Amino acid sequence: MRDVVLAMFGALSLAGCGSKTACYAMSDEDATQKVIAEYAKQPATAKGDPAQMQFSGARVVGVGRSAGAKGDGKALTQVWFSQDDHTLTVATLTEACDLQFRPGLAGDAIKQAAIPTKPPNF
């Protein structure tokens, strides 16, 4: 299962938007919809454990952004989703629209995140 999730990370990181800064400074709602749409495009075999990989706006518990100037390649947006098994999945979206997921995080992981989070603003 872990290999499937790691393969998914690689596949999704290739799903860029075509611009180095296409996902820079997206609204919380737009970033959430981007994550949901890109995940939905993946084949079922690349989606990992469905108990830890469920996404919707209603599941968002926080959004975090790193400091980064447009075009420096360091700006990140993290969207944190609650899961039915009481874990969290964080989706990290780069300014170039590369996407990675970390499923199965403890419920308090959001409080210990390196990038501070806030409730979503939809």
34-47: pLDDT as tens digits: 999 999 998 888 88
Domain that holds residue 92: 2-118
Distance CA 99, CA 94 (A): 7
Is 60 exceeded by the pLDDT of residue 7?
Answer: no
Contacts of 14 (CB under 8 A, 6+ apart): 98
Residue 56, phi then psi, degrees to nearest 5: -165, 160
Residue 68, phi then psi, degrees to nearest 5: -170, 140
pLDDT for 46 equals: 82
Split into its structural domains, the chain has a count of 1
66-114: pLDDT as tens digits: 988 888 888 999 999 999 999 999 999 999 999 999 999 999 999 999 9
Neighbours of 97 (CB within 10 A): 21
User: Model's pTM, two decimal places?
Assistant: 0.81
Residue 26, phi then psi, degrees to nearest 5: -70, 150
Strand order across the 99-105 sheet: 99-105, 88-94, 76-82, 60-65, 117-118
Task: Classify 33 as helix, strand or coil.
Answer: helix
Residues recorded for the chain: 122
